Amino acid sequence: GQSLEQPSEVTAVEGAIVQINCTYQTSGFYGLSWYQQHDGGAPTFLSYNALDGLEETGRFSSFLSRSDSYGYLLLQELQMKDSASYFCAVRGVGSARQLTFGSGTQLTVLP
Amino acid sequence: EAGVAQSPRYKIIEKRQSVAFWCNPISGHATLYWYQQILGQGPKLLIQFQNNGVVDDSQLPKDRFSAERLKGVDSTLKIQPAKLEDSAVYLCASSSPERTTYEQYFGPGTRLTVT
């Protein structure tokens, strides 16, 4: 089976840096993805890590350690519009290599 | 490019009734997914199509849920009969196998309320 753990809520102030952690247990692993979802909106892709290390895309970075079954999403220079839910998702298990999502972390950015 | 289209956006039905959702993926995307997202949880994959063939439907409650993707483009997801616990947002997503990031593009979803 698969399980992913991430904090349910995180609060930070505008301009700050926040890190959202994700630990996973899977019987097969091909990569870790991150998605953002605003209230009432569709999930949108942020990043994908297949190999260990840091991937940077603008204000967002994502890190993966396969040996520790751990990853994180780093958001810098927080803006009010970053208030949303953030999901980590493991790609793997099964012939379809489908995504299994965590329960999400609700990020609240305060002024 | 146009995004993933879904309809209806909202649906309210009584338990034991039937309902159908429609999805039109991004043009050229061979892979189509249906997810169920219960409030406060992450999306859960129900079924995955590659063109018009089913790749994975291991989490689809086949006694009441069915899905099809005719001609490898549009797809419909049906629930018959609905139960209270089916209240959720049903998300459709599509992806292209050429993307090395395996990015999935999601539609706006259909919010289903079963009373």
Residue B52: what pLDDT? 85
The stretch B50-69 carries a mean pLDDT of: 94
Chain B residues with CB under 8 Å of a chain A CB are 4, 33, 40-45, 48, 50, 55-56, 58, 91, 93, 101-109
- pLDDT at position B100, please? 77
**CB distance A95–B109 less than 8 Å?**
no
Q: Do A97 and B102 touch (CB under 8 A)?
A: yes
Task: Give the three-class secondary structure for A82.
Answer: helix
Cα B37 to Cα B68: distance, rounded to the nearest angstrom: 20
Predicted pLDDT at B62: 95
The whole-number pLDDT of residue B1 equals: 67
Residue B38: what pLDDT? 97
pLDDT recorded at residue A50: 92
Q: Is A3 on the interface with B (CB under 8 A)?
A: no
DSSP B20-88: EEEEE--TT--EEEEEEE-TTS--EEEEEEETTEEEE-TTS-TTTEEEE-GGGS-EEEEESS--GGG-E
Mean pLDDT of chain B: 94
Q: Using the structure block, give the residue that is written with the tokens 């991430």.
A: A6
How far, in Å, CA of A69 to CA of A84, rounded?
A: 24
Q: Tell me if A42 and B107 make a contact (CB, 8 A cut-off).
A: yes
Q: What is the pLDDT of residues A78-106, one digit of tens each?
A: 999 999 999 999 987 666 678 999 999 99
**pLDDT for position A2:** 78
- Cβ distance of A100 and B48 shorter than 8 Å: no
What does the pLDDT average to over B85-107? 92
pLDDT tens digits, residue range B3-28?
Answer: 999 999 999 999 999 999 999 999 99
Q: How confident is chain A (111 residues) per 10-residue block, as mean pLDDT? A: 91 98 90 96 95 95 96 98 97 75 97 95
Q: What CA–CA distance (Å, rounded) separates A111 from A108?
A: 10
Cα-based distances in Å from B65 to B6, B19, B61: 18, 10, 6
Separation CA B75–CA B22 (nearest Å) = 6
pLDDT in the model for residue A98: 85
- Given this model, what pLDDT does residue A70 score? 96
Question: What's the confidence (pLDDT) of residue A95?
Answer: 60
Measure the CA–CA gap between A35 and B93, rounded to whole angstroms. 13
pLDDT at B65: 98
Please list every residue in chain B whose beta carbon sits closer than 8 Å to the beta carbon of residue A99: 45, 102, 104
